[in-house]
Amino acid sequence: MRILIELPTWLGDTVMATPAIENLINYYDKFEIILIGSFVSVEIFKNHPKISNSYVIRKNYISLFKISKKIGFFGLSFSFRSSFRAKILKLLISSEKKFQFNKSKYKNRHQVEKYSDFVNESLNTNYLAGKLIIYPNLNHTKKNSKSIIGINPGASYGNSKRWSPKEFAKVATVLSNKFDILIFGDIGEMEIAADIEKYLDRKGITNYQNLVGRTSIEELIFHISTLDIFITGDSGPMHIAAAFQIPTVTIFGPTDDKETSQWMNNKSKIIKKNLVCQPCKKRKCPLSHNNCMKLIKAEDVLKLV
């Protein structure tokens, strides 16, 4: 029997879904498992030993129709998305039974637990939500003479989640005598990284490497897995770090750390200001001050490091 799994769209959500998907895959161990999803979500499962095939979904509706015809018939299909597009795709897919995640159904739970609940309800099982699982393909070759600290100043969700580039640079400057520095981010965050570079250059810091927009997902996973410390906002790379138990300091602003903090990483620290307006979960600050991020300073982060 063939089984279809539609992955979450975002990098972080996909990593948080890995315990539930692992339970699902192991339940159907001898079956053919096919994945569909966004480019980044499919890349997370690129090296999974039990995945038979995977397909990238484009955003337009014509793409949904074409891929539904291309992938054929399934005995079961599971969608970890609840958007309107995902519901359309569910109608188009040929499958005997169809299960779809409903984000409004699960409240006051970590996102990992929400995905796990979805699988348990679908299968009538009682699996626990285990650790985040990513199968890397690149091997470590040699260890740096210095330890490595990673900083991740961007966040795909929106500007309200982004901490000041200057404050990130201050942290990197203080730690540069003990750590080599890697700067992470996607192509849309190159301007933020450039601001950090300018500050570091003015301070005479040279032992850094700007990887923003220059890594594949596979390379991103590799580099994060080699870190000694990671400093980040609430983001997809933060969850990759959790999968490898990297000591992490996460800066939380508008999002809810009870739902999207690192899962099962004992080396994780969170910094937030606990303002009355937190968590608003908005992409742009509705009060136009963004104090949940602005009030956090480099000294606060350095204490946790």
Per-residue pLDDT, 157: 61
State the pTM of this model: 0.95
In a domain, 109, yes or no: yes
User: Pick the residue with more confidence: 123 or 157?
Assistant: 123
- Regarding whether 162 and 92 lie in a shared domain, the answer is no
Domain span at 23: 2-123
Side-by-side strand order, sheet with 208-210: 208-210, 179-183, 147-152, 229-233, 248-251, 268-271
Cα–Cα distance measured from residue 299 to residue 287, given in angstroms and rounded to the nearest whole number: 25
Position 141 in a domain: no
User: pLDDT (tens digit, 9 = 90+) per residue, 100-110?
Assistant: 999 999 989 99
pLDDT tens per residue, range 183-197: 999 998 999 999 999
Would residue 130 count as lying in a domain? no
Q: Are residues 204 and 103 in the same domain?
A: no
Q: What's the pLDDT band for 158 if we cut at 50, 70, 90?
A: low
Mean pLDDT of the chain: 94
pLDDT single digits (tens) 33-51: 999 999 999 999 999 999 9
| Residue 234 forms part of a structural domain | yes
pLDDT in tens, 198-209: 999 999 999 999
> Range with the lowest mean pLDDT among 113-122, 152-161, 173-182?
152-161
Query: Tell me, what's the pLDDT at 142?
Result: 55
Q: How far apart are CA 7 and CA 100, in angstroms?
A: 11
> Do 100 and 32 share a structural domain?
yes
Count structural domains, the chain: 2
